[in-house]
Structure 1
Amino acid sequence: MFYIYIIFDFAMAVIMLLFGIWFYRSKGQASKFLSGYNMKAAEERKKYDENAMCK
């Protein structure tokens, strides 16, 4: 039973790693997933560098 927890934790770590790599390589397209960023006005979003935020 203990091995199931280890396998599950390892699988979750791999999923989070892949998600992080995708986020890093998105060239700013993943900025829509940043908390609160989509709620800002368009002119306020232009002040931010989306590539830098995703990295």
Structure 2
Amino acid sequence: MGSETFLEVILAILLPPMRVFLRYGCGFWIDLLLTLLGYIPGIIYAIYSLVG
């Protein structure tokens, strides 16, 4: 795992919507909604978008 991927994982855990916005842009609203409904679903979506 490279240092860039490691930083993306840390950003996905700390600020899930920001990580998705920096990578995709449009998925930001989905992740923001998931984060507002519960922090864990936002993290799961951000990590899933990192892998997928």
The answer to whether TM tops 0.5 is no
Structure with bigger gyration radius:
1
Q: TM-score range by the shorter chain?
A: 0.3 to 0.5
TM-score, L = length of structure 1? 0.40
Work out which structure has the larger RCO, using CA pairs closer than 8 Å and 6 or more positions apart in sequence. Answer: 1
TM-score, L = length of structure 2? 0.41
